[in-house]
Amino acid sequence: MPSFDITSKVDAQALDNAVNVTARELSNRFDFKCSHLVIVLDKKEFKINIETEDEMKMRQLCDVLMSRAMKQGIDPAAFDFSKDAYQSGKVMKKEVPVKNGLVQEDAKKVTKLIKDSGLKVQAQIMDDLVRVTGKKIDDLQSVIQLCKTSNLGLPMQYVNMRS
């Protein structure tokens, strides 16, 4: 039976490249000259630690990071900018977690969406991915289109298409 997997993974090398390009670009910008700027990727916990002098530079840094990540092929929904920056001495600090893998609640949302669609496919949760199986490849392709058009707020990839 044809099947495919729905995952939500971020390529670690692409994320590292986006962080490095952002740091290099901001070090060359005129408005960031002679200012405190730290952007570091914690690869084990998939978090980006940011330090700047004020709130305006923090917003600019986040915008540049987002645009560079999009150019590297990373979905903007992978970043969680909901936490506010906090003051630590003379600098503003912010911790930006990067979503990597489907959490159990998100996997349940995806399977509920697929089952409520009425398509003749089965969806099952397997650790950090959702496996979708069906008799026809056309049904699987319609599931992919359904997931792309629904606004779940998750960066999803569709891998391991087998017939």
| Residues 158 and 90 both lie in one domain | no
The structure's pTM equals 0.81
pLDDT score recorded for residue 141: 92
* Average pLDDT along the chain, 163 residues, taken 10 residues at a time: 90 93 90 88 92 90 93 90 86 91 89 91 90 92 91 86 84
Q: Determine the pLDDT at residue 83.
A: 86
Q: Which CATH number fits the domain that encloses residue 148?
A: 3.30.70.860
- Judge contact between 20 and 57, C-beta under 8 A: no
| Res 1: pLDDT | 86
- Residues 117 and 65 both lie in one domain: no
Please check whether residues 59 and 119 belong to one and the same domain.
no
Regarding whether 88 and 109 lie in a shared domain, the answer is: no
Question: Structural domain tally of the chain?
Answer: 2
pLDDT tens, residue by residue, 66-96: 999 999 999 888 998 888 888 888 899 999 9
Do 65 and 19 belong to one domain? Answer: yes
Asked if residue 22 lies in contact with residue 68, where contact means CB atoms within 8 angstroms, the answer is yes
Determine the pLDDT at residue 144.
92
Range of the domain at 27: 12-97
| HEC assignment per residue over the chain | CCEEEEECCCCHHHHHHHHHHHHHHHHHCHHHCCCCCEEEEECCCCEEEEEECCHHHHHHHHHHHHHHHHHCCCCHHHECCCCCCEEECCEEEEEEEECCCCCHHHHHHHHHHHHHCCCCEEEEEECCEEEEEECCHHHHHHHHHHHHHCCCCCCCEEEEEEC
Do 89 and 129 share a domain, yes or no?
no
CATH of the domain at 20: 3.30.70.990
pLDDT, residue 77, reads 87
Whether 35 and 69 map to the same domain: the answer is: yes
16 in the same domain as 75? yes
Domain boundary among 80, 97, 114: 97
